[in-house]
Amino acid sequence: MGLSDHTADELENKKAFLRRLISRGHLDQAALGVTRQVIDRGEASLSLKQRFVFKHDVLDVFVTAECKGCGSNVSWSEMYPAYHNGGYCARCAYNLYT
């Protein structure tokens, strides 16, 4: 698997995370529209105002970049569970809650 394959997989995982936020009803009107645009056309398509909304209302609220337990990066595929379990990666959440 090359670098571009890894990047494509991460992009698809990020889109899946954003779709899950939408399908579970986490986003309000402005954040919902901007997030749909990001899924369809990418973050580069956003205006400055839209970028602010996406960062402030989506990324800053729902993204856990670093696990609160071990400090490792949280992958996009683990992002939704990390949001719901207090900011822990899957391994740390398992160790805390079992």
Q: Are residues 68 and 57 in the same domain?
A: no
Yes or no: say if 95 and 85 are a contact pair by the CB < 8 Å rule: no
**Domain, as residue range, for 11:** 1-62
Residue 76: which of 4, 1, 28, 18 has the closest Cα? 18
The pTM assigned to this predicted structure is: 0.88
Number of structural domains, the chain?
2
Are 45 and 1 found together in one domain? yes
Q: Are residues 39 and 72 in the same domain?
A: no
Same domain, 51 and 21: yes
Tell me the pLDDT tens digit for each residue of 16-41. 999 999 999 999 999 999 999 999 99
Q: Convert the pLDDT of each residue in 42-79 to its tens digit.
A: 999 999 999 999 999 999 999 999 999 999 999 999 99
Contacts of 13 (CB under 8 A, 6+ apart): 75, 76, 77
Please check whether residues 10 and 50 belong to one and the same domain.
Answer: yes
Determine the pLDDT at residue 31. Answer: 97
